[in-house]
């Protein structure tokens, strides 16, 4: 069955005035953020997709490079196909930001795409391969807000001020959470201009959002899309208002939106999660209900400090041995509390799933190539 890249081949010659913006278009806009446009797309200003791609290819080459399972290849191929299509060739990119700071526990990136239908799509990048990004994800279970959420709220306010176009807001992975957070905390004037909010396999919120006044104003425009084998989108999820879609992969690899199956202008729906996903989701739900926020924060700090002590800076740097060592150290420091043990087991399972997927997708030699490129 087709995926979002195949969709460009099939739909690329159909302009937006003939076939309106849809959920597959949303994923393509979000995947633009996976490319590093630092020094190419201005922080305040615009650049055509064609020129941004030319400068990106000039600096990085024009082939997809895999930097990890969560940063699976495909975005370069996607952009090449976009530039050959009537539907996307005239896209304009604006206001690119990219911040990763371990000392502040923040990983944040965003851009605004001026779509040929006269709207602007504010896109937030999701969780990347860095440990600081995953640590920030788990902080969402213990902190009322995390730095990336505050950055997303500020970015959306600036985007709404800089353009008079109707807005769509979206993101993949953590970016989906940021999109919802930014939209529900935006000024009412900006909220009235938002047409749709897309959360593509993003985690939920610490306290839930059902009683939030700003959320109530935009909730009818939120579209939450989760793959059937989700291990990220079910984190901290306390509601059942989402759509489950088919993926051709399992485990963490299903998080890659390019594995989601497409038919026409929609992702293919599933009736329910498989057993494995339901078990993981229930385990995560139990610790969010039974552990205090302080306990969650302490566990996150201890475990990720132990991971960093192994010398790893990214998940790709981790090995099974390093993960086991970090988990052993964390258990020794945290004691034998049953609920803490449950959380640690769940997080360890999530990272172990990543390593298993990486072993299938990233041969040993390819991992070294990736590291050398990052170091250079």
pLDDT for 272 equals 84
Residue 332 host element (H or E): helix 320-334
CATH 3.40.50 in the chain, residues? 4-273
pLDDT for 58 equals 96
Question: How far, in Å, CA of 142 to CA of 321, rounded?
Answer: 28
pTM: 0.83
User: How many CA atoms does the CB half-sphere of 36 hold within 13 Å?
Assistant: 14
| pLDDT digits 0-9 by tens, 293-323 | 777 777 778 777 888 888 888 777 777 777 7
Question: How far, in Å, CA of 35 to CA of 75, rounded?
Answer: 7
pLDDT for 285 equals 67
User: Residue 45: which region, alpha, beta or left (left: phi > 0; alpha: psi -120 to 50)?
Assistant: left
| pLDDT digits 0-9 by tens, 235-291 | 655 566 789 999 988 777 788 899 999 999 999 999 887 766 776 666 666 656 666
CATH fold for domain 4-273: Rossmann fold (3.40.50)
Within 10 A of 356 (CB to CB), how many other CB atoms are there? 15
Q: Which residues of the chain have pLDDT under 50?
A: 362-376
Question: How far, in Å, CA of 353 to CA of 359, rounded?
Answer: 10
pLDDT for 245 equals 94
pLDDT for 31 equals 94
Beta strand ranges found along the chain (DSSP E): 46-48, 92-101, 106-114, 120-124, 167-172, 194-200, 222-227, 243-245, 262-263, 266-267
CA-wise closest residue to 110 among 34, 187, 54, 222: 34
For tokens 């640690």, name the residue. 344
């Amino acid at each position: 069955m087709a995926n979002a890249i195949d969709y460009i081949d099939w739909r690329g010659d159909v302009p937006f005035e003939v076939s309106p913006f849809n959920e597959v278009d949303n994923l393509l806009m979000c995947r633009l953020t996976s490319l590093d446009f630092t020094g190419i797309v201005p922080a305040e200003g615009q650049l055509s997709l064609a020129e941004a791609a030319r400068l990106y290819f000039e600096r990085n080459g024009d082939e997809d490079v895999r930097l990890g399972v969560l940063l699976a290849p495909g975005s370069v191929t996607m952009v090449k196909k976009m530039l050959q299509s009537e539907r996307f060739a005239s896209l304009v990119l604006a206001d690119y930001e990219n911040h990763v700071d371990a000392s502040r526990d923040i990983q944040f990136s965003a851009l605004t795409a001026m779509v040929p239908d006269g709207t602007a799509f504010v896109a937030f990048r999701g969780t990347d391969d860095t440990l600081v990004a995953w640590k920030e994800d788990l902080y969402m279970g213990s902190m009322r807000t995390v730095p990336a959420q505050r950055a997303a709220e500020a970015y959306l306010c600036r985007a709404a001020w800089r353009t008079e176009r109707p807005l769509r807001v979206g993101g993949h992975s953590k970016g989906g959470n940021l999109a919802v957070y930014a939209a529900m905390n935006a000024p009412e004037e900006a909220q009235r201009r938002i047409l749709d909010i897309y959360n593509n396999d993003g985690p939920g919120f610490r306290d839930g959002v059902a009683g939030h006044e700003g959320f109530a104003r935009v909730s009818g425009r939120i579209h939450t899309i989760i793959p059937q084998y989700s291990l990220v989108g079910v984190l901290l999820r306390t509601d059942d208002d989402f759509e489950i879609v088919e993926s051709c992969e399992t485990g963490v690899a299903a998080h890659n939106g390019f594995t989601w199956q497409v038919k026409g202008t929609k992702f293919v729906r599933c009736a329910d999660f498989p057993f494995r996903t339901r078990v993981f989701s229930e385990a995560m739900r139990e610790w969010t209900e039974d552990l205090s926020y302080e306990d969650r924060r302490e566990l996150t700090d201890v475990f990720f400090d132990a991971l960093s002590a192994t010398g790893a800076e990214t998940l790709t740097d981790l090995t099974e041995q390093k993960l086991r060592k970090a988990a052993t150290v964390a258990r020794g420091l945290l004691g034998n509390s049953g609920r803490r043990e449950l959380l640690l087991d769940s997080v360890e399972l999530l990272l172990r799933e990543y390593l298993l997927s990486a072993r299938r997708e990233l041969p040993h030699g390819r991992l070294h190539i990736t590291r050398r490129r990052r170091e250079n």
